[in-house]
Amino acid sequence: MQERVNKLRKQMEPQPFDGMLILKPENRRYLSGFTGSAGYLLITGQEAVLITDFRYSEQAKEQAPHFRVVNHGASVQDTIRAELESAGVKRLAFEKDHLTYALYASYSEKFAPVELIPTEGIVEKIRAVKDAQEIATIRQACAIADAAFSHILGFLKPGISERDVALELEFFMRREGAKSSSFDIIVASGARSSLPHGVASDKILQQGDFVKMDFGALYDGYCSDITRTVVLGEPNERQKQIYDIVLEAQLRALNNLKPGMSGKEADALARDLIRDKGYGDQFGHSLGHGLGLYIHEDPRLSTLSNDQLEPGMVVTVEPGIYIPGFGGVRIEDDVVITEFGIEILTRSTKELLILS
């Protein structure tokens, strides 16, 4: 954790502020190791302070030994102000995407004459490149998701609801050691499979349906994210055609991803193929996103992204085709960028499985 704080301090050196207040839970955990639900980090060139309350005092000292733990009183803002004065902070950075206007106004008044400086993405850019321990944890989250997919194949059948499928996936992943699913599980069948984010409904699975399942395990704070699409009974020719195109596009991206590539170039690997096959308008989301303590992180693999892929980044690769009134297919894997290419972390088969 100390190394992560040092990386942040290096990022802070050229900035027009002398202290940074961290409120975002994922950033707080990343920098300190503290997993409690209430806490504030104050980072300066010399100080690393974790401000929390009595409920978490012992936990904070155990999980964040490199931080000075301070219990706040009735007013946490009074405690933060006292720490700012003690550290001599004149210009305080804050995470602008995690501070409400009401809280900003309150801080401006309470911390005066300290000037508040809005920042964006400073810690997130450090988080984008994972260390060995983070990758090992994500690998375990992926293994749980893979096991859940294997399990659900024996559960899927006509007559059960999408919600039944989602619950079974959730229960299985928790039994395997996950704290929860990484996000609201997507199960979309039949014509509903054309909904990219079709969260599980009461719709009953029927013979001939595509069943698209997008889920992941939250394990020790880190997320996995996998999508597989299967068919109940024999697929028709159009279903096979769409599935084959998505699989070809995904494999093309996986076979060509490498460090130094931009998010825009990565996205084009799959998008160009799908467009050339006549389905460009039916692939409306990005190819992928970073994965870690949060389900959507840097870098972004999209038509607008200039993010550069670096070794240690963990990203999803998830092309899809979605045809309203007919159905859709998405195939998604989690991969880590290596020095020479990628390592695929999710291992579930991508063969079109025909469940009878």
Model pLDDT for residues 98-121, shown as the tens digit of each residue: 999 999 999 999 999 999 999 999
Q: Is residue 83 domain-shared with residue 226, that is, in the same domain? A: no
Write the CA distances from 22 to 48, 73, 109, integer angstroms: 11, 19, 19
Query: How many domains would you assign to the chain?
Result: 2
Q: Find the mean pLDDT for residues 307-334.
A: 98
DSSP calls for 208-222: T-EEEEEE-EEETTE
Q: Is residue 167 domain-shared with residue 57, that is, in the same domain? A: no
Q: What is the pLDDT of residues 182-224, one digit of tens each?
A: 999 999 999 999 999 999 999 999 999 999 999 999 999 999 9
Q: Find the mean pLDDT for residues 21-28.
A: 97
Write the CA distances from 133 to 182, 210, 345, integer angstroms: 19, 37, 14
Q: Is residue 246 domain-shared with residue 293, that is, in the same domain? A: yes
Q: Is residue 136 domain-shared with residue 64, that is, in the same domain? A: no
Q: Is the pLDDT of residue 356 over 90?
A: no
* Amino acid code (one letter) for 145: A
- Cα 310 to Cα 305: distance, rounded to the nearest angstrom: 14
The residue out of 94, 126, 158 marking a domain boundary is: 126
Q: What is the CATH number of the domain that holds 235?
A: 3.90.230.10
The residue out of 126, 147, 170 marking a domain boundary is: 126
Q: Is residue 116 domain-shared with residue 35, that is, in the same domain? A: yes
Q: Is residue 86 domain-shared with residue 186, that is, in the same domain? A: no
Domain that holds residue 7: 2-126
DSSP calls for 262-316: BHHHHHHHHHHHHHHTT-GGG--S-SEEE-SSSSSEEEEESTT--PBP-TTBEEE
Cα of first residue to Cα of last residue in the chain, in angstroms, is 50
The residue out of 85, 108, 126 marking a domain boundary is: 126
* Mean pLDDT for all residues in the chain: 97
DSSP calls for 70-128: EE--S-HHHHHHHHHHHHT-SEEEEEGGG--HHHHHHHHHHHTTSEEEEE-SHHHHHHT
Write the CA distances from 3 to 8, 10, 66, 183, 255, integer angstroms: 9, 11, 10, 30, 33
Band the pLDDT of 1: cuts 50, 70, 90. Answer: confident
The DSSP output letter for 161 is B
Q: Find the mean pLDDT for residues 270-283.
A: 98
Q: Is residue 114 domain-shared with residue 210, that is, in the same domain? A: no
Q: Is residue 274 domain-shared with residue 288, that is, in the same domain? A: yes
- For residue 181, the cross-strand partners are 217
Q: Is residue 184 domain-shared with residue 268, that is, in the same domain? A: yes
Residues 6+ apart with CB under 8 A from 60: 34, 36, 39, 50, 52, 67, 69
Higher pLDDT, 329 or 356: 329
Q: What is the CATH number of the domain that holds 39?
A: 3.40.350.10
Q: Find the mean pLDDT for residues 242-270.
A: 98
Residues 6+ apart with CB under 8 A from 103: none
Q: What is the pTM of this model?
A: 0.95
Band the pLDDT of 176: cuts 50, 70, 90. Answer: very high
Q: Is residue 106 domain-shared with residue 164, that is, in the same domain? A: no
Q: Is residue 196 domain-shared with residue 268, that is, in the same domain? A: yes
Q: Is residue 94 domain-shared with residue 227, that is, in the same domain? A: no
